[in-house]
Amino acid sequence: MLDYVFKTHTPKETSDFGRMVAPYLFPQTVITLSGDLGAGKTTFAGGLAHGLGIHEKVISPTFNIMRCYFNAKLPLFHIDAYRLESGNKDLGLEEFIEGNGVTLIEWPQYIQEIIPSDALNIVISNLGDDLREVHISTSNPAFTKMFAKIREEFVW
């Protein structure tokens, strides 16, 4: 199990964290993004998209469930499952998760059944003002180098 907790002090740091992670991703990576409303999930997603070479602005896909970005080093599927809490979950999202891109999932608890067990899990907590705690963990050893880099760049 890879597991690390650190702090960010500005939105830019959270976005920079996303950008830093991007080069370590590969096809079929699933990243879950958990945290309260306004924690910084989409801010992270914006940095990650930038790192994948996406220049469009990343907005929360809440009203569309999913936004896809193909003009990138790897296709990015950005899912916001918030509105699936009590709704129809049979949308075929597995096809994206099992496809050849990176899938980012905000509010993963609402579609838990389709999240692979070796996903990269990120939990962001608001510690007040601009301070955020970021907890990243995964059972997938393919991310070992990425964790070494994060430990180097981001500290508690």
Ligand X SMILES: Nc1ncnc2c1ncn2[C@@H]1O[C@H](COP(=O)(O)OP(=O)(O)OP(=O)(O)O)[C@@H](O)[C@H]1O
Does residue 42 bind Mg ion (CB under 5 A)?
A: yes
12 versus 151: smaller Cβ distance to ligand X? 12
11 versus 116: smaller Cβ distance to ligand X? 11
- Name which position in 18, 20, 25, 41 contacts ligand X (CB under 6 A): 41
Residue 145's CB is within 10 A of a number of other CB atoms, namely 11
Instruction: Considering only residues 56 through 75, tell me which ones interact with Mg ion, judged by CB under 5 A.
Output: 60
CA distance 116 to 105: 12
CA distance 89 to 65: 11
Interaction partner, residue 32 (Mg ion, ligand X, none; CB < 5-8 Å by kind): none
Q: Of 138, 145, 109, 110, nearest to 30 (Cα)?
A: 138
Query: Where are any strands of DSSP class E within 15-154?
Result: 30-34, 66-69, 76-80, 102-106, 120-128, 131-138
18 versus 75: smaller Cβ distance to ligand X? 18
CB of 62 to ligand X, least distance (A): 6
What is the contact surface with ligand X in residues (CB under 6 A)?
A: 8-11, 13-14, 35, 37-43, 60, 106, 130, 132
